[in-house]
């Protein structure tokens, strides 16, 4: 893959890797899931929702500020 060779990434990556990271960053920034669905050209929202498991893993153990109210 030409894009990988230009970045000098030494790990074995694929187009899916880039899509996965792109989606993870969008979710972390609070991008609406429907917007992400459109960007990834997913017909079914369930396909896009698969990516949300990453977000759940990233924020495990984070306490909401509302818990202190």
State the DSSP string of 36-68. HHHHHT-SSHHHHHTTHHHHHHHTTTPPPGGGG
Residue 68: per-residue pLDDT:
67
State how far the Cα of 34 lies from the Cα of 38, in Å rounded to an integer. 6
Residue 48: per-residue pLDDT:
87
State how far the Cα of 69 lies from the Cα of 62, in Å rounded to an integer. 16
Residue 67: inside a domain, yes or no? no
pLDDT one-digit tens code per residue, 9-65: 777 878 888 888 888 888 888 888 899 999 999 999 988 888 877 655 555 555 566
Residue 34: inside a domain, yes or no? yes
| DSSP 8-state secondary structure symbol assigned to residue 14 | -
State how far the Cα of 54 lies from the Cα of 52, in Å rounded to an integer. 5
Residue 23: inside a domain, yes or no? yes
The residue ranking higher by pLDDT, 6 or 64, is 6
Give me the number of domains the chain comprises.
1
Residue 62: inside a domain, yes or no? no
Residue 63: inside a domain, yes or no? no
Domain membership of residue 36 as a residue range? 2-56
Residue 7: inside a domain, yes or no? yes
Residue 10: inside a domain, yes or no? yes
Query: What's the whole-model pTM score?
Result: 0.61
Residue 39: per-residue pLDDT:
93
């Amino acid at each position: 893959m030409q894009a990988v060779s230009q970045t000098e990434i030494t790990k074995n990556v694929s187009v899916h890797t880039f899509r996965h990271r792109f989606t993870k960053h969008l979710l972390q920034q609070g991008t609406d899931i429907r917007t992400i669905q459109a960007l990834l050209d997913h017909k079914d929202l369930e396909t896009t929702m698969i990516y949300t498991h990453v977000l759940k893993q990233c924020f495990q153990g984070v306490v909401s500020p509302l818990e202190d109210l």
